[in-house]
Amino acid sequence: MNEFSFVTGMTREIREGLALWNEKAREYVETYYQRNEESARGTRFYRGVVKTRTITNNLSEIEEEKIIRSVFDDQNLLASIAVIQDTSIFVEEELVDCIEIESIVNSPWNLIKYPVPEKRKGAGTAIVEGIIKENRGKGLSRILKLFAIPEEKIFYSDLGFTETDGSGEMILSESGAAMLLSNLDQKRESDTFD
Amino acid sequence: MSQESPNTKESKAYQPTPEQLARWKRLDENDGAIAGRMPPEEEQVRIFKEFLETDYVTDQLERVRAHKEKLLNKLKSAEEYEQFLLEKIEERK
């Protein structure tokens, strides 16, 4: 099982990482999609480029108003980035504190379907795990909320998120988060995914 | 005296259930994680073409300069207000 280091806030390494994502994504478009937008359209890689661009186009505003979290892999490469914010949601008619994951996007090498050497599986799981552990470290145990497009719902369901109203909004309850952490510990203790 | 190194394989004692194995496999297969709302399709096409056609560093520099300009204007406004309030305090004396 690949291990990742969790980073809070914006750093020079993240800025360098995002510049590298752009460079590598352009290389992949050349190599695998004939530098053609239409050839890449509809792929997870394509959505990742768009999502990354929506973050980098507003990076200064995001830094001012929101919270940035990221994970780096064993090559010291930026593997995934998340934009989160504190919010509240109603659960059984009660307003409770919640962390909204506004965006998550993995590096282009972790999104492209081709077997590129930089690829390290598990970055998406690691960033969600990091956010949960960071909150627990502060003595908080808050619900996580995010929006998942249909193609990504299965991933978040397997992490323990449940859909709220069919719109794509999904939440991970406190007990769901505890189960995810326990499950990941069990995965580390097994030799199945070494 | 040499010390025997621990057998790491044996220390990994946990035996996953078939359901866990299936879920872990799916998580690995689907780990190209993206979360959050996506722009409408036409906007996605525009953004992707912009990504192909613009130089990232130059584009980021333009954006950060525009942001810096906004912040400097905000700072200027705050400084003007601070000066105004200081003058008011001076008038009271």
Closest CA–CA distance from residue A140 to any residue of chain B (Å)? 23
Q: What is the tally of structural domains in chain A?
A: 1
Does residue A194 belong to any structural domain of this protein?
no
CATH number at residue A63: 3.40.630.30
Please tell me the distance from the alpha carbon of residue A24 to that of residue A34, in angstroms, as a whole number: 14
Please tell me the distance from the alpha carbon of residue A149 to that of residue A103, in angstroms, as a whole number: 12
Domain that holds residue A101: 5-189
Q: Who wins on pLDDT, B20 or A144?
A: A144
Chain B residue numbers with beta carbons less than 8 Å from the beta carbon of A122 are 27-28, 31
pTM recorded for the entire structure: 0.88
CA distances for A44 relative to A40, A89, B35, angstroms: 9, 29, 11
Please tell me the distance from the alpha carbon of residue A181 to that of residue A187, in angstroms, as a whole number: 10
Mean pLDDT, residues A91-110: 92
* Contact present, A73 and A2 (Cβ < 8 Å): yes
pLDDT of B2 > 50? The answer is no
pLDDT band, residue A193 (cuts 50/70/90): low
B7 and chain A in contact, CB less than 8 A: no
Q: Which among B27, B63, B67 has the least Cβ separation from residue A155?
A: B27
Count of C-beta atoms within a 10 Å radius of residue A31: 12
The tens digit of pLDDT for each residue in B32-69 reads 689 999 999 999 999 999 999 999 999 999 999 999 99
